[in-house]
Amino acid sequence: MGTVLIERTWSELEKWLLVAVLGLEMTMGVVGNCLVLIVKVMCRGQFCCRYWLPFVSLTLSDLGCSVLIISGSMLAILTGGQSSPWCEVVSLLKFAFITSSIGSIAILCVQRQIGMATTGNAPFVVMVIGCMASWVTGSVFGSIPVIYAWIRYDPAEMLCAVFWESSYSDMLVYILCAFSLCIFLPFLLILGCCVLSATGYCSSCKNDEESDLSEVSPLLVASYMVCYTPFFVSELILLGRLDLSPAPDWLRTLSSVMSYLDCGLNPLIYCSHRNFREAGLALLWTKRKPESEPVLIGITKVIHI
């Protein structure tokens, strides 16, 4: 998101440095999340994952951001901008991915807290509705700026963002509503689950069963909060300025780079779980059986008289 923007140009050194960083983040996100999906599908019997639905939703969100948004930012740096309609699509999708990510993490935390596995009709329906709600609300709030033609290319963010010209009240209402429903509500759920876990009330933590992949959820929460802090800070700065002046260029650039980094860090966080890591390594490095083995085809018995 942004406001009235002063066009800036990247130096050649800055341009290629950003392209290298974004290329690395895109590679980490695409390769890592594709491998995660493969392991989850092909090795699901080799590690315990009772809360698989939010994990799949989060992985798809990270993969979509890596394939569509990061690549779009790379092309924007190289070509000097983004043209319509791709400009509007990128803006909508980025907010949808941000919202679905934190929504999936919140659902994972709630599931783990109450110990409701993604099995059975009723729990499955509830979790599907929750995951879909995070995607839908993100898409709805992402489409509002597109409908009202608030979208412009922001060179600092390296993608198209919301462009505020003269109405502080419109900006205030939109950001407060979007963040309250899409960001703060899931954050409150996550915070509540963290508090309950710290006080010792955690249904899944009391299980003596096999170690579950959901044990990495605190790391997922920490990674999301660290990577998206620059984005939240830039929005708070915008809210605090009545003249609609944006956050500094360096902060807006950092917010994009850090939010993209989260997509590549999540697969590494999954691999910190021993059973998941071992299942992935077994899938990648299992040796093939020899094509031919010696077979005993006959026995000749010689009798000496």
Domain boundaries, the chain: 12-275
3-state secondary structure of 151: strand
Compute the average pLDDT of residues 163-169. 72
Query: What CA–CA distance (Å, rounded) separates 234 from 248?
Result: 8
Query: What CA–CA distance (Å, rounded) separates 239 from 233?
Result: 10
Q: Looking at per-residue confidence, does 58 or 289 come out higher?
A: 58
Q: Which helix (H) or strand (E) holds 109?
A: helix 86-114
What pLDDT, on a 0 to 100 scale, did the predictor assign at position 117?
Answer: 62
- At the second CATH level, the architecture of 12-275 is Up-down Bundle (1.20)
Of 242, 228, 58, 72, whose CA–CA distance to 161 is shortest?
72
* From 21-30, 76-85, 183-192, 291-300, the region with the lowest mean pLDDT: 291-300
Compute the average pLDDT of residues 38-51. 80
CA distances (Å), origin 48, targets 44, 45, 240: 8, 7, 46
Give residue-wise pLDDT tens across range 14-27: 888 999 999 999 99
Give residue-wise pLDDT tens across range 83-121: 888 888 998 999 999 999 999 999 988 888 877 665 556
